[in-house]
Structures are given as structure tokens and as C-alpha cells.
A and B are shown apart, each in its own frame.
Chain A
Amino acid sequence: MKSVVFIEKNPISKQLRNVSLELAYKAYTLSNPLGGDVVGIFTGDSLPDNCDELFQFGMSRLLYYTDERLANLHSIAYKNILELMIKAEAPDIVLFGATHTGRDVAPLIASSLKTGMTADCTQLYIDEYKDKGKILYQMRPAFGGNILATIITPDHRPMMATVREGVMLLPDHRLDNPVRIEAFPINFNELWIKSEFLEIVPKVKKVDFNSANIIVSGGAGVGSEENFLLIRELARALGGEVGASRAAVDFGFVEKDHQVGQTGSVVRPKLYIACGISGQIQHRAGMEESQKIIAINKDPDAPIFNIAHMGIVGDLSEIIPVMLRYLKEEN
């Protein structure tokens, strides 16, 4: 059961994207017990600075084709190059990060290979299927996160899937696979370049969920943009990050970058404080793996209390100021 993993570089930091490491390790856990290798495939202008780390998470080899013309996402060029690498390796499984690059290129490859692809998987495992032997079972939320579907691709190879960043966990220990980075020969065709990138504007990163131990999130129940300042203040007082439900974003209380959930970020902080968030499935899909959850909500029947570990039934605009006062006194 051989796996191929698409390796992606953050164009700003020039480092590997976390999801590439996460998928390298996930692929290792799928392939290794069955004696299969994990092969990374990369294209771009230059390799990510910290490629070697991939081998500490179970990758066997990394194939790459670099060319300065590939600094930006030229979909057709990326698709052709990556597809040639996949064909050369003939893997059973192909994993892509569900990033804006992965979600652009992976469907092109699946279409060209006429195989199945499952987007945004939250769980992947191998099991027997009828007389087909071992196949990949791909679980994903669908229908706005209201159902969890298990999708299989029983008759086609490779079995392709995308996974969002932060969904698969990295292990505490590191492996010591030898570093094997190999250039892959490509007859580059100028016609593969169809778009012209006139300008690249780095986004100012306002939200950093990855390194936050604590996330304080507000929902529709916060009531107003003004009240949302309480959420921001509490986050600041605890040294945490500000999160939000889709409703809070839709109401304009807070910018979309803060959104947690099925259509926002997936987070797993040590502590998640949900204020005025009812806990719709759409939101829970992005935060229920948090180690501890505190719910502050007026409605005692809000579903958020079903997944919370600590809770207060009450008005957050009265409760948070008391907490803030306490935190100020303590400092």
C-alpha cells in the first residue's frame, strides 16, 4: 500500500506547510504497516527550506521538479508535473492538503486519471472491502457538517483524498528515515503556463490559531460588534487568540479570518472558551477536538453544553467583565 503525498511550501516563509508534515506522517501510518513506502512530490521554484523534516515523519523519498517559472500556482503546469510523478510511482493512495493550492490542483489530477477523490477527510484508515482486499476508508463531514460520510474508491487507483491543515496529528517522537531527495526529470512545456501573475500581496496574518493554547470565541449571542470587544479583551487577558462562529462573522462582529468551523479553521487548543455560541454542528466540526471546552451561554439547552467540560448559563456581557476584573487583579 504505497502512498504519495503532495508537499507544499508556504510561499512567504519558504518553509513546509504544516499539513505536508501531517500528511507525511498520516501516510506513514497507513502504508508502513503494510510494507508500503511514502513518497513526497513537490514542484515550485525551489524546495522548502526544511524538507529534511519530512523524513522524520516517515517519508521514504521526496521527488521534486523546480523551475523559477513555477514560483506561482500555474494550475496546468502543476497538474501535468505532479501527474507524471504520480504515474511514475503508481501509488495506491494519493494525499493532498486541502489548501487553496491542493484544492486547485488535486481535482485536475483526479479528473485526468479518472479516479475518485474525497475532499476534506477527517479520518483515513485501511480495511478490507468485500473481495477487493485492503482499501482506504475516507471519512468526511458533509451536508454542512450534519453528517459524517465514509467514502470509498473500491475499483480505481490511486485512491485520492484531501485533508485540511490541523486535522491529522503529528506524533511526539520522530523517526530517523534517511533523507532521500531526488530530482524528477520533466520536459517542461512553455504552453503549460497560461496565467500571468502581476502582483503578489502577502496577507497580514491576523490570526494564529496554531500556536494558541487558548482560544476565546464569540458567536451570534455576543450580539454586537461592540460587545465583541469583550471577547477580544478576554483573549488578550489570557494570552489567547480570538475565534468566532460563522454567525458572528456573518453578522459582521468580527473578520472572517477568525472563523472556526467546517468552513473556517480547524483548531485544537488546550482550552476553548465558547461565548454566545450555540454549538451548531458547523461550528463544532472545527473545535470539538479541543482538550477542554468552556461554554458561556444564556440558553441552558444550547447544544454547546453537550460537548463542554465547564459551563455557565448566563449573560456573557455580565460574566466576562467579572472575569476580566479578576484577571486584572491577579496581575
Chain B
Amino acid sequence: MRVLAALSGGVDSAVAAARARDAGHDVTAVHLALSSNPQTFRSGARGCCSLEDSRDARRVADILDIPYYVWDMAEQFRAEVVDDFLAEYAAGRTPNPCLRCNERIKFAAVLDRALALGFDAVCTGHYAQLVPGPDGPELHRAVDPDKDQSYVLAVLGADQISRSLFPLGDTVKERVREEAAERGLLVADKPDSHDICFIADGDTQGFLESHLGEQRGQIRDRDGAVLGEHGGSYGFTVGQRKGLGLTVATPDRSPRYVLSIEPASNTVTVGPREALEVREIVADRLQWCGPAVGDGERMSFQYRAHGESVRGSVRVVHDALVAVLDEPARGVAPGQTLALYDRTRVRGSATITSTRSPT
């Protein structure tokens, strides 16, 4: 196959591209220039990407002896990922920009362009497995549970999955690093990136404040009593405990958590841990990677990127679904993606709109 390997400049995408090449594919590398933010990127004025990452990616391509290009996706990235990130927070929801980037950029704009230019597939360093199935490749969790990224790929449809290569899904991260070193890839020791790539200093709160402005509002308990003030409801996520800045303590000094965010009145409601528990998760924007999940099917549900999954059954309501959980879940934030798993297989995803508590 003719394969377009996305090289971020990190170790995972480098080893993924190397494995695709070793598998006999005709591999071409692209580095995506995703940001023109001059704070994150030195040559911002001319729309360049991070020079260091771009150089690292170029050196990987040199060592693999494959062609290398930079694709400027900054405009699409701003419109589809960064603006969406801000709008979601402004609406009191909690977005996942990596997932949005996969959905709209890597496996949409980039994949489309690659196919049009004569490539057969896009290869990335995501930790997830593609397993041949009767209806085409199935998306499964990676063998390394700490690195599994099937959740951020759960937004992809069957056609996107069938045009993807994830060569790292069967390997643990430690081994990927060793392999990078064995292959002489200079990025073998490069630290993992954890932060949101377009917020260079890692200060999400500061980023939101500078883009959305200060909006003072109140923090209340479930009875409506004012417990404190905040500078913008967008700064909170359901389930958050730290950084609430509350001045009135609970009588037993037990911690309080964000229960809900109401952007219209700019109010953040807090309460005890047990009030976070939800039994039902309502989600829309259904996306199946394979056959649709039917009413009553038993599934595992994962509702945030680094979290456990909970078992339950699906109730399909028109173009939305309700996940009815066996055990209560905590910290379920509207805006996050609900991924549906059948054992290790990703069956699809939906966007969380609301939750219901135990009755």
C-alpha cells in the first residue's frame, strides 16, 4: 500500500512509520503544522510549526529514508479544534481536543487529502489495535492498558478505520522506546507529550481566561447558598475538587466537588462526593465503527480519556442513547465522549449531553 505516515516529531509516530515501512508499504511522511500561535511556535508570523518538532520529524524521515513534507493545517486546526475547544468550555461543557483533532483533522482533512493524492491509508502512532473482522477491520484497545488510546479514536467511522494503520497497538510503550533506540531514531528518549499541544505552557485556565475573558459568577451549593466566587464558569469541570477557592467550609470539613455548570447564569454548583454519582448517561451524535449497537445490548462505557470503564446496557432513543450503568459512575462531564466497548472492541461513541443520578 501507499501509506502516508503522520510524524509528530515524537517517538510513537516514528516507530509506527518505521514498522509500516518494514511491513513493505511505500511510506511517505508528513508533519502537520497545526498552530500559528507565536507563543508555542517560534516562526509564528509565517505560519510555521514548532521548529524543534518539525526538525525531529524530518530526522526520523531521513533515518527511515522516506520522503518528508510539512502540511500546513493551521487554519483547519484553529477552526475545527481550537475554536471548538473554546466554544465548548464557554457552553459549560468539557471538550477533548485530541479526539476532535482525530475526528476532524487527522482522519478527515489529512486522510481525505492523502486519498486524493493516491495514498491508500494514513498511519499514526496511536496505541490501538486493528483486528480483521467479518465486516472489515475492528478497532480494539491496545495491549498496553496505560497507553491505550482507543478512546480518542472512538469517534472514527468504519470507513476511516479501514483507511488507518496503528502499528503500535500490540506493543507496550517501554518496548516502543527500546525499538526506537535500536533503530537509531534520535527521538527515542523524547519525553511523552501530555499537555494540549496548542497550550504551550500547560496553563489551560490561563488560556481560557485570555480567550474568553473574566466572567465573575457564584459558586453555590445544591440549596442555592452562595459559597464563593469564580472568574468564569468555563474554568470548571464536573467532578473537579481542587482549586474551587471556597471560603465557607462544610461542617464536617468534607471535600466538595463540582456537580454542574450552568453557563447561562454563570453558576457553578458544588456538593459532596456522593452527589457526583450518576446511573444514567445521556449522549447524542452517535458514531458507530461497525454495526450499530442495538437497544438493550450490554456494553462497557468509558466516559473520559484516562478512566476506567463501567458496565451497563444501552437504551437507544431516536438519535440519542442512554447508557444505563450497573454501578454508579463519578465525574461524568457533559461534552466528553462516551465510548462504547464490547470487551476490547470499540463499537462506537456518542457525545455526553446530560446525566441522571440514582433515584
Q: Do A and B bind each other?
A: no
**Residues on A facing B (Cβ under 8 Å):** none
